[in-house]
Amino acid sequence: MEHPDADVRQAIVKLCDALCSWERATSRESVLIIREQGGFCYRAVSGKPGVPDDITDEQLKRYILNEP
């Protein structure tokens, strides 16, 4: 789902690009979750979108924090 606001869409893409660059340089990983009232949801791991719907936000959080 794309965000209805063009500026927000552009900012999300720019943030994910920056996260990818940062992670390549530092070997760190990240999880980005944006949820809005009205149903908009954007999730990315290491700056890459397309996290499957069957993976919960909690699972993503545990993954990045190295929790079982």
SS3 content of the chain, % helix, strand, coil (to 5): 45, 20, 40
Rounded Cα distance between 9 and 40, Å, is 11
Which pLDDT band holds residue 65 (cuts at 50, 70, 90)?
A: confident
Distance from C-alpha of 5 to C-alpha of 3, rounded to nearest angstrom = 6
Mean pLDDT confidence for 33-47: 93
Residue 40 has which token pair? Answer: 């908009």
pLDDT band at 43 (very low <50, low <70, confident <90, very high): very high
pLDDT averaged over the chain? Answer: 92
Residue 68 pLDDT exceeds 80: no
